[in-house]
């Protein structure tokens, strides 16, 4: 599964096993094959994900959305 993180200045891509996000309606753990969806991310929270190498990573999100397809998760940051 691919994770893309897009902000106004750059785009980063990661090959991941899963990504975990906080939203106003709760916590979501997204794996390959997840039902397509669009979610607002809870402001000022961390996003956690595991790379295909097994290494866990996180990044702080100030504000944004995540678009999920069966093969990709795209986080679009507003800052």
Predicted pLDDT of residue 17: 97
Digit-by-digit pLDDT tens for the chain (79 residues) are: 999 999 989 999 999 999 999 999 999 999 999 999 999 999 999 999 999 999 999 999 999 999 999 999 999 998 6
Predicted local distance difference test score (pLDDT) of residue 13 = 98
Q: Of how many residues is the chain composed?
A: 79
| Gap between the Cα atoms of 76 and 72, Å rounded | 13
**Bridge-partner residues for 76, per DSSP?**
6, 65
User: What per-residue confidence (pLDDT) applies to 78?
Assistant: 86
Count of structural domains, the chain: 1
- Structural domain boundaries enclosing 53: 2-77
Task: Provide the CATH number for the domain around residue 28.
Answer: 2.60.15.10
Cα–Cα distance for residue pair 19/30, rounded to 1 Å: 5
pTM of the prediction? 0.93
- Block residue for tokens 């790379």: 51
């Amino acid at each position: 599964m691919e994770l893309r993180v897009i902000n106004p200045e750059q785009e980063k891509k990661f090959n991941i096993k899963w990504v975990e996000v906080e939203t106003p309606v709760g916590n979501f753990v997204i794996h390959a094959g997840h039902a397509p969806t669009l979610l607002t991310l809870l402001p000022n929270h961390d996003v956690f994900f595991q790379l295909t190498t097994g290494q866990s990573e996180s990044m702080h999100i100030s504000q944004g959305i995540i678009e999920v397809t069966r093969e990709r998760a795209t986080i679009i940051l507003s800052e």
